[in-house]
Each structure stands twice: as structure tokens, then as C-alpha cells.
Chain A
Amino acid sequence: MAHDDFRSFLAAINASGDSLSIDQQIDWDQELSGIGRLSCERNGPAFMFDNIKDYSGWRIATNPIATWRRMAVAFGLPADTHVRQLYDVYAEREQRPIPPVIVKDGPCKEVVIAGDRVDLFDLPVPMVHEGDGGRYLGTWDLVVSKDARSDWVNWGMYRFMIHNERLLTGFPRPTSHLGKMLLDGYVPQKRAMPIAIAIGCDCLSHLAAAATFRIAGNEADLAGGLRGQPVELVKCETSDLYVPASAEIVIEAEVYPDRVNQEGPYGEYPGYRSGEMGNAICARVSAITHRRDPILTLDTTGFMDSSATSTSISGAIAIRRRLEANAVPVTAVYVPPEGGVHMAIVAVRRGGAEVAQKVLNVLTVRRALISKIIVVDEDVDVFNMAAVVHAFATKCHPGRGIHVTRYQGRANTLTPAYDQEERVARSGASVALDATWPPEWPRDGTPVRATLDSMYAPEVQRRVLERWSALGLK
């Protein structure tokens, strides 16, 4: 069963040996995030910092589910659960959404600060990387917004930076669901859009917020499905939005329909600071509520952060469903976290140029966050990157196997390969690398892979595996 709140998750990863507490004083200005960053790069533990310079009484927890072990614990599974099984569990639970329930009160209301008493510098918001545009409050958050013309409530995970005591700037992309709500429903009416930034909720609610999810879908229902029980929501102090009652901290704000300010640059999930600054949103904070003895959550954004694992799992399932809906003969999809959410491995029953091109078209029609797609035959284990690289290196024709599509207005502006002009125009390209055998090749002329499972008689395979086990090898 999933955890009730972030604190019970912390207790579980502590018990599984996947977290460390640090009680020596640590500087919020780069030092703290530097430790978290190194941990991501070395597949290390989550950290709980109990003693933060300038911020007595506050705690910061880093990179909650940046490893598959911690992701497994978040799902209520043993820490050593294989990633393939995590994908299966996500896909199964995603199909059984559970709507949230409204409660009158919750731990996130233990301390309420509203109006002129609000001061964002009272929160121990770290300077994540040297050279960032400012201090980032929203790195592992859950941002609630509501469509102006329907009941659609969006949860997203978007970055927010402190400008001054009450002003935030943020970068939910214009192609994001929040961006769409703002530009379609509020800006034309010159209305401010209420948002609520919830920090330190149960991990599966954050996973749902970060998920690739359909337009007009309520991620709170998805979170309930992933948890196997409804999320309890409580009403905000200064708007009609509802937030998870167990959140450690909630920032209530209104996005201006007619104001901009500096946002970024920021070292982002692809693993670079790409100079995407200059076009963002600007929000004024109306209230802060938090638990007593609060914990700020921080994803030390960059290579192999929490967004890499969370988008790996939700993105891959979403890709698979979209391909299935478009009659692509897909058998498995993997988004390797090492690819910074820029690469997907797609296995198909029957490959060839036509299928590769179709995969590319389906995955770039609206938003094009993934720009490299390797298409493999179904006998390649998509979770085994050695097997994928082998298939790509040997089966992808260097001329005929490369399929490129270019687009305007929907490219991923965080893709480091794009120049400033492309970033501003949101123009880009995606490529499908076809590592499948052409279906028109006769079976007798198709190369046979020289591996134990392909080039040996079944009886020999059986004997080899028996001897292997008898030798105590895994």
C-alpha cells in the first residue's frame, strides 16, 4: 500500500537503507544542493538535511525518487523491485483512477501566513546551482491550476524561482497544460489565474503531477489510482483550489495575465543550463501554509534527478498507449533515465521504414519532448541498454534507417542541442533510428544474432543454463 504522506515515505526509505540524515550545518547556498547533485550522479541515497544555515527549525529532503529503489518504495513495493515490474505496476494502477476526497482540515494548515506577512525568504529555498537565475522553490512540487471554462483541474510539476518577498517567476512551458489553461482561458480575459504550489506531498501524488497525462484529465484521480486510495484534498486559504492535505508546504499565488519578469536560467533535467530564459510567467503570492517542523523537498535538477525516473515511467507508458491507439504494433517502451527524457526505446512486432516513420509521426504531433527514438524488434529487451545499443549499432542502416521530422512551435526549448534562434521559435526536429529488420527481407536471408538465446539449440541452452546455475553464477 502507498504511503499516507511524505513523512511515512521518508521512514520507509530510511528503513530500506536508501536515505541518510545530516545534522551538521549545511549552507543552503549551493553546498546543500551540491551534495544532492553528487548523489544523483552516483546513484546515491536521498538526504535529509536537519540543520540549514540561516534557517533553524526547517529541514530539506533531496531527490525523493531519483533511484528505482526509492521509486519502488514509493509504490509500496520492495526496494529491489525490477524497473520492468515498476512499469507494469504503474500501467496497471493507472487504469484504475480513484477520485480525491475533500476534507475540512489537514496538516498543511498547521501554520497559516497570509497577505502582508508573506515572505518567501522565510523558507529555506536553496540556490541549486552556481549561475542559476535565482533561488528555486519549485523543483519537486505539485502545481494546481483550474481551467477557466470547465471543471478540469491540472496538477503539474513546474519550476518556480523567487524574485522578491512575494513575487515568483516560473517556467511551466507554454505547451504545458498549465500554460494552455493560462493562455486560452485567463490571458484573453485579462484575469489573474490562481495557482497553488504544494511541496512535500506523498510521492505518488508528485509522480502523478509529473506524469505525461491527457488534456482535461485530472491528475488527482491518477494519483488516487497509483496510491490505491483517494488523495485527501483541502481548500486553499485565498482561492477555490484544493491541495493535498498532507503537503508539507503550500504556496498560494495568482499568475499575472499582463506581467513578466526575469526567470532562469536554470540547470534543468536534460542535464544542462540551456539559456532558455526570457519567456516565463510571473505570480504574486497571497498565502503560505505549512506543517509544523516543515520539510522542503528539493530535486537537485540535472542528470539522473527525480524527474528522470518519474518521466521515464509515466512517459514510457503514455508513449505506449499513444502508439497502440494509432495501430503501431508496439510490444514495449522504455525511456532510459540516462537520456534526460530525450530518448525512447520502442519495440515492435513488425518493423521497417513505414513503422519507424509512423512512430515518429505519432510522437511528434503535439508536443515533441522526446527527440531520439530507437525502434527495435520485439526480441530486443528494451530495459537492457547493452542489447539496445547492440541492435542500434548493427541493425540501423546508416542511410535508410534514419528518419527525421522537423517542426515549428512545439519543440522542447530545453533541448541543449538547439541554438538560441530555435529555442525562441520553439522549432526543432526528432529522429527515429530504425534498428529493425526490413519486413520484406526473407527469413532465410535475415542475419541471425549470435547470442545464446538465438544461435543455440533449445536443448543446449537448457544445459548451459543449468551448468551456469550449478556454478553459483547469476
Chain B
Amino acid sequence: MAREFETFARDSAPLLCGHEVVITLRDLSPGRKKYRGLNVRAVVSRPPRPGEATLWIRSVVGNRDPQPCSVRIVEELPEAFEGVPYSDFFEAMQRMEQR
């Protein structure tokens, strides 16, 4: 079965730019580790590309965009991003993206 992930975004447009982006994925594979988090550098495509894992994008209130995407993981990143507690997580991902 093809893998499925989901991610959360304040604005989905930058994810769909066709370039590499930094995102946190939630692995939707069934079993005890469902919803495990994974920080990655990846390319997101819509419409989904054949052979790639399916990606669903959710808003910051958790609503799922009904249009599926696909995701190609380029690189796995460390399990946490640099930033002082309570600093903006989305901005921390952006900083990592620009490195």
C-alpha cells in the first residue's frame, strides 16, 4: 500500500511552489506508530505524481484540504528545529528552508 502523510500549514500556497520546502509530516501508516512526526526537506506536487506518497494538507484549525498532493522526501531533518520555546514554529521551518 502506498504511504500517506499529512501536514499542517498556515498557507498551503508556498508548499505547492514546486521547489524544495521544509515541512513536518505525520505518517498515516496504520499501526502503533500512526501519526509519528517526521521533519523533512521535500517537494510537494499537486496533482499527485505517480509513484510518490500521498500528502494531505490541513489548515491550522485541522481542516483537511480535499485535494490530495504527493510528496517526495529529499532529506530527513533533525527531530526538532532551532528556536527558543514559544517562538513561531512555521518561521523556524522557514529559516531551515533558507539554509
Contact = CB atoms under 8 A, between A and B. Distances in A.
User: Do A and B associate with each other?
Assistant: yes
With a 10 A CB-CB cut-off, give which of B8, B10, B31 has the most chain A CB atoms: B8
Interface stretch (A6-14, A261-269, A300-308): A261-269
A54 B87 CA distance: 36
With a 10 A CB-CB cut-off, give which of A162, A261, A267, A274 has the most chain B CB atoms: A261
A258 B62 contact: no
Interface string A410-437: 0000000000100010000000000000
Interface stretch (B12-20, B33-41, B46-54, B66-74): B33-41
B88 A278 contact: yes
B37 A134 contact: yes
B82 A258 contact: yes
A131 B81 contact: no
A341 interface: no
A187 B85 contact: yes
A55 B42 CA distance: 33
Contacts of B79: 163-164, 167, 261
A279 B62 contact: no
Contact of A277 (B8, B35, B80): B8
Nearest to B23: A262
A275 B35 contact: no
B45 interface: no
B60 A275 contact: yes
A260 B83 contact: yes
Given A164-B37, A164-B79, A261-B79, A256 B85 contact: yes
B35 A134 contact: yes
B86 A280 contact: yes
Interface string B69-99: 0000000000111111111111010000000
A133 B80 contact: no
B36 A131 contact: no
Interface in A130-189: 130-135, 162-165, 167, 174, 179, 182-183, 187
A262 B83 contact: no
Contact of B85 (A165, A183, A275, A424): A183
Given A277-B60, A279-B89, A187 B84 contact: yes
A40 interface: no
Contacts of B8: 133, 262, 265, 277
Contacts of B86: 174, 179, 183, 260, 279-281
Interface string B22-34: 0010100001111
Nearest to B61: A275
B85 A257 contact: yes
A281 B80 CA distance: 10
B64 interface: yes
A257 B62 contact: no
Contact of A265 (B24, B35, B60, B83): B60
B88 A279 contact: yes
Nearest to B7: A262
Contacts of A378: none
A474 interface: no
B42 to A, nearest CB: 15
Nearest to A274: B61
Contacts of A261: 24, 37, 39, 79-81, 89
B17 to A, nearest CB: 20
B37 A131 contact: no
A55 B31 CA distance: 10
A273 interface: yes
Interface in A22-73: 29, 54-55
B41 to A, nearest CB: 15
Contact of A256 (B59, B61, B80, B90): B80
A259 interface: yes
A260 B89 contact: yes
Contacts of B90: 278
A134 B38 CA distance: 12
- In the A-B complex, the 7 residue pairs with the smallest Cβ-Cβ separation, listed nearest first, are A131-B62, A275-B60, A259-B80, A260-B83, A163-B37, A275-B61, A262-B24
Given A131-B61, A260-B80, A265-B62, 13 more contacts: A121-B33, A121-B36, A129-B62, A130-B62, A132-B62, A134-B26, A163-B80, A262-B8, A265-B8, A275-B60, A278-B88, A279-B86, A279-B89
16 contacts: A54-B31, A127-B35, A131-B58, A162-B36, A164-B38, A174-B86, A183-B85, A187-B85, A256-B80, A257-B84, A260-B89, A262-B37, A265-B8, A265-B61, A275-B60, A280-B85
